[in-house]
């Protein structure tokens, strides 16, 4: 069994997104929709399709999760329909029922760190949280909170 096997299937997704990360903004927008997760390569990878809508519009995202058996780590590779390209991979692993993944990206022309955490994993729900840091990881600002509730396996 692989770390992401818990997430295979159809999910109802509730998402909160900070509208303007790392600007001092406290304006959050909410979305509801679905997440479909398919196992590929016998569990060594999976494909996630996110489709949520709310007052701020629609987010259609694709996440290709790839497992590296040598490092025992996953790379999470995200693309939005609007952007049309993959973000740099967020890489990490699961320990004690919690997944932590990190990357370095660019936001508005400056280098930032990205942390993505998967927690509160049960057979029928899980919690996702993304945070950005512009000070080398000393402080983090959460900007994406999602809760998935299982619809079907």
- Reading the block at residue 42, the tokens are 């016998």
DSSP-derived letter for residue 138 is: S
Q: What are the φ/ψ torsions at residue 5 (nearest 5 degrees)?
A: -60, -30
- Nearest 5°: CA angle at 110, between 18 and 137? 70
Dump pLDDT digits (tens) for 53-109: 999 999 999 999 999 999 999 999 999 998 888 999 999 999 998 999 999 999 999
Give the HSE-up count for residue 153: Cα atoms under 13 Å, Cβ half-sphere: 3
Q: What is the rounded CA–CA span in Å between residue 140 and residue 132? A: 5
Dump pLDDT digits (tens) for 99-153: 999 999 999 999 999 999 999 999 999 999 999 999 999 999 999 999 999 998 7
Q: What pTM, to 2 d.p., does this model score? A: 0.92
């Amino acid at each position: 069994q692989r770390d992401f096997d818990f997430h295979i299937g159809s999910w109802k997704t509730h998402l909160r997104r900070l509208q303007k990360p790392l600007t001092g903004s406290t304006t959050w927008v909410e979305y509801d929709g679905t997440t479909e997760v398919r196992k590929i390569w016998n569990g060594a990878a999976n494909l996630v399709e996110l489709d949520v809508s709310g007052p701020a519009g629609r987010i259609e995202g694709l996440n290709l999760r790839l497992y590296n058996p040598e490092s025992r780590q996953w790379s999470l590779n995200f693309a939005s329909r609007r952007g049309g390209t993959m973000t740099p991979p967020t890489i990490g692993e699961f320990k004690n029922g919690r997944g932590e993944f990190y990357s370095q990206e660019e936001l508005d022309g400056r280098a930032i760190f990205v942390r993505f955490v998967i927690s509160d994993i049960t057979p029928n729900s899980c919690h996702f949280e993304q945070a950005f840091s512009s000070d080398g990881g000393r402080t983090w600002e959460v900007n994406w909170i999602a809760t998935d509730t299982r619809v079907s396996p």
